[in-house]
Amino acid sequence: GAEQQLDAGVGQISQGGESRDSVWRAADVGLYLDGSIEALPDADEAVGVALAVWEAESLLPRVWPMSGKADPLGYRGGEANRNTIRYADRGAPQAKGALAITLVSYDSEKHTIVDGAVLINGMYRFGNLRADGSAGKPSRHPVYDLTDVLLHELGHWFGLADNPKDADAVMYPYFSPGELRSLSLSDSDRDALNALYANAPEEKKGAACSVAAPGAGRLCAAAARRSRWPPGVSPPGRPRSRFATD
């Protein structure tokens, strides 16, 4: 992906790009789910399932989904920023025809991701193909599985690049309508994740919690008292609960 230089020392990459060996440094990261995603079928569940796959990896921070309005795309120095998932129902020109795009902003000096936004492109139709039984069946209108798309985009959100060489990888960038992909990381996904996070520079660690909004400590504390899984999605041994709200 093309890179655009923003504030001094801060760059922004788009889907498929390299985040210059930058990672999330905070132990806990907030992720706002904009109300626009409610137009997508089972969006909360799709987010929860996709996050569960990534969160099983010990190198990654804990992610706390919260309902809240999305801010403008991109990182704005000196302003409140929100990590977000949002849906552009009329299409997303930034995606340039892709199913979705992830914008990740990073501090190149600290090798730290400072902001991330997933934008789902309304040019396409999305569904919960595992639940509705439509996977692999002919359809007049191509439908893509939302969970699979979010799983891939969250890989970008964590800083990983596309992997066009491994068709079994979550980070494989090509999708077909009506198909279901694996809900587990491939060996190449884990290799890329380990190469990025295990080898990230140790200096200048970030804060304990990163919500990228005013009152971050309060929001992280509130989220920590609640499950980060949507209704109906709960890891073994954890209570079912709603997302935290801002």
Q: What is d(CA 117, CA 120) in angstroms, rounded to the nearest whole number? A: 10
Query: What tokens does 26 get?
Result: 């905070």
Give the pTM.
0.80
Q: Is the pLDDT of residue 204 over 50?
A: no
Q: What pLDDT is attached to residue 92? A: 86
What pLDDT sits at residue 245?
33
Read off the pLDDT of residues 92-123 as tens digits, 9 standing for 90 and up: 888 888 999 999 998 888 889 999 999 999 99
Beta strand 112-121 with 84-88 is parallel
What gap in Å lies between CA 159 and CA 24, rounded to an integer?
8
- Give pLDDT tens digits for 156-170: 999 999 999 999 999
